Chains A and B, each alone.
Chain A
Amino acid sequence: GENVEQHPSTLSVQEGDSAVIKCTYSDSASNYFPWYKQELGKGPQLIIDIRSNVGEKKDQRIAVTLNKTAKHFSLHITETQPEDSAVYFCAARRNSGYSTLTFGKGTMLLVSP
């Protein structure tokens, strides 16, 4: 089955800095890679996703890059703000049948004012 590794487990940055979270996956058949933001006591919120037919996707201050050859994908947050502080999860999935998302272990991002 799929295995998703996520690093770092915690990341502290100053407001305005950039933050990068990296994930690797093991199943070469995976072709869907979402990122979720989870605030304390709440459910995960989909913030961006990428499919294997593209290498990069941007949405305002958030971007995701995908390297299928190396089987890794990354989340980039620019101009971080204190409200970006949360736990971020990456995930991977085969887009077929009843495949389910496999999640990384999460990264706690702390943005200091």
Chain B
Amino acid sequence: GAVVSQHPSRVICKSGTSVKIECRSLDFQATTMFWYRQFPKKSLMLMATSNEGSKATYEQGVEKDKFLINHASLTLSTLTVTSAHPEDSSFYICSAVVAGGRLDTQYFGPGTRLTVL
């Protein structure tokens, strides 16, 4: 149980284009999802917290107009990297908290490797 999927697993795009990453909770409903970014050999950096039906809460220094987050249902959150540039290349990971369960137990997706040329 508690499986989180991400799609796509890898994406390569040209500079200036937008890329959408999907995060789905497969066997549970998630009122809260999180988006992280991870650089090589580094720890996870929280970008934003997404609650179903409301606006995402972004961490300090994360551009909300660049990283658009939509949590339209209890099983799906999307991260759109708008006008992507090479510095946006990174490993993006989502995680989800079981609705009605403990707020602290987070299950992570497999990650999406974004490469911007």
**Do A and B actually bind?**
yes
Binding site for B on A (CB under 8 A): 32, 34, 36, 41-46, 49, 89, 93, 95-96, 98-101, 103-106
Asked if A49 and B105 sit within 8 Å, CB to CB, the answer is yes
Chief secondary structure at chain A's binding surface = loop
Q: In chain B, what residue has the closest Cβ to A108? A: B41
B34 neighbours in A (Cβ, 8 Å): 100
How many angstroms between the C-alpha atoms of A42 and B109 in the bound complex?
A: 8
Q: In chain A, what residue has the closest Cβ to B92? A: A43
Asked if B44 and A103 sit within 8 Å, CB to CB, the answer is yes
Asked if A44 and B102 sit within 8 Å, CB to CB, the answer is no
A-B contact pairs, 14 of them (CB 8 A): A32-B104, A43-B6, A44-B44, A44-B108, A45-B108, A95-B102, A95-B103, A98-B49, A99-B103, A101-B104, A101-B106, A103-B44, A105-B43, A106-B41
Q: What is the minimal beta-carbon distance from A26 to any residue of chain B, in angstroms?
A: 16
9 closest A-B pairs (Cβ-Cβ)?
A43-B108, A32-B104, A43-B111, A43-B110, A44-B108, A103-B43, A105-B43, A43-B93, A95-B104
Asked if B57 and A98 sit within 8 Å, CB to CB, the answer is yes
How many angstroms between the C-alpha atoms of A42 and B4 in the bound complex?
A: 12
A104 neighbours in B (Cβ, 8 Å): 43
A99 neighbours in B (Cβ, 8 Å): 103
Q: What is the minimal beta-carbon distance from A8 to any residue of chain B, in angstroms?
A: 14
How many angstroms between the C-alpha atoms of A93 and B103 in the bound complex?
A: 10
Q: What is the minimal beta-carbon distance from A94 to any residue of chain B, in angstroms?
A: 9
How many angstroms between the C-alpha atoms of A95 and B108 in the bound complex?
A: 18
